[in-house]
């Protein structure tokens, strides 16, 4: 796997775990927490939403779904 792909997957996993630990969070809060641009975070959120791991109850806010997830290192 390319280093950039591995870095992206690690960030997506970290974003998911951050949302799970902090409840409902904003895209801006995630961008600030990860030192990324809102656009980069939005791409990560799109991957998570496509896989039904998160949902957006309000515009710009994100929370995890009830879907079961197995987290591996």
The rounded distance, in Å, linking the Cα atoms of 9 and 52 is 16
CATH number 3.40.50.720 given to 1-62:
no
Of 29, 40, 31, 62, the C-alpha closest to 54 is: 62
Handedness of CA 8, 10, 15, 19 (dihedral sign): positive
Instruction: Tell me the pLDDT tens digit for each residue of 2-58.
Output: 877 888 899 999 999 999 999 999 999 999 999 999 999 999 999 999 999 999 988
Tokens 């806010």 correspond to 61
Beta-bridge mates of residue 25: 62
pLDDT of residue 73: 66
**What residues does each domain of the chain span?**
1-62
Residue 69 confidence (pLDDT) above 70: yes
């Amino acid at each position: 796997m390319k280093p950039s792909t591995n870095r992206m997957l690690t960030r997506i996993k970290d974003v998911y775990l951050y949302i799970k630990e902090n409840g409902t969070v904003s895209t801006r809060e995630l961008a600030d927490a990860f030192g990324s641009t809102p656009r980069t975070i939005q791409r990560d959120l799109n991957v998570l939403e496509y896989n039904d791991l998160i949902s957006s109850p309000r515009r710009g806010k994100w929370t995890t779904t009830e879907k079961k997830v197995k987290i591996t290192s």
